[in-house]
Amino acid sequence: MTARLVVEEAIRTAAAVIARSRHVAALVGAGLSAESGIPTFRGEDGVWTKFGEPTFDGWELFNHDPKAWWEASLENAAQYSDFARSLDAAMPNAGHYALAEMEQHGHLAHVITQNIDDLHRRAGSRHITEIHGNRYLVRCMTCGGRDRLSTISLARIPPLCHECGGYLKNDTVMFGEPIPEDALRECYRQAAIADLFLVIGTSAVVYPAADFPIMAKRHGAALIEINLDDTALTDIADVVIRAKAGDALPAIVEQLHGRGL
């Protein structure tokens, strides 16, 4: 079989598995947003491959001196990296819209995304857990409440939560920072109840995110991987689609429509 036929067959199989599943969850990574112009982290053009991983002291600095952290982060925003620029310019792509459509038609219950770009919400997905946060939100370090960054006053640094007075921090999860409790709880819940996990555009090397499909698999869920390359989860995937997420996901939706679903 040619590579194209292998992909087409995998897409047909994936649609059939999705159609007969009861609770489908997705774990999404940077590969989904690559077609929106946001570079991935690892791989040839990955931001960390090119520039190295960020320094590990952000979380420590915030805990030690939140005012200094906010000042540094506002100064960084003023310098405005290419990566940040690509995030702010990005629009949802066909893959994001296909996931939103699957949710609207009852074929996808929940998206766990490692991406901080807000593109799932903008594409129309509703049940989303942003396990690494959202670049456009702030989160209270005391009560966990979230707000749009654009709506809070930065006249006072660090800004304070209007609910409980705790310190606010950008919602993006930094190295060393614990995953927000509410997000983690929802991910474990999805891992426990899903009978199918879609693993889309992630190298699946960052934990705990990579663990959720593994946990689901352990209790009998099927795994469908959509990725351009092999990943840490390829060996345990039941269906592997070696294609761009922006091509594969709309093709799956088309197959589901073809089945009258």
Any idea which residues carry the catalytic annotation? 132
How far, in Å, CA of 83 to CA of 47, rounded?
A: 8
Number of residues assigned to the chain: 261
Nearer to ligand OAD, 195 or 211 (CB): 211
CB-based closest residue to ligand OAD: 31
Q: Which is nearer to ligand OAD, 23 or 242 (CB)?
A: 242
In the complex, what is the shortest distance from the CB of residue 83 to ligand OAD, in angstroms, rounded to a whole number?
A: 11
CA distance 11 to 28: 18
Interface residues toward ligand OAD, by CB under 6 A: 29-31, 34-35, 40-43, 46, 114, 132, 173, 201-203, 206, 226-229, 231, 244-246
Q: How far is the CB of 35 from ligand OAD (least distance, A)?
A: 5
Pairing verdict, β 168-170 and 137-140: antiparallel
Q: How many CB atoms lie within 10 A of CB 190?
A: 25
- How far is it, in rounded angstroms, from Cα 238 to Cα 17? 10
- How far, in Å, CA of 246 to CA of 203, rounded? 17
CB of residue 224 vs ligand OAD: minimum separation in angstroms? 13
Nearest distance in Å: CB 137, ligand OAD: 14
Dihedral sign of CA atoms 74, 75, 80, 81 in order: negative
Nearer to ligand OAD, 72 or 160 (CB): 72
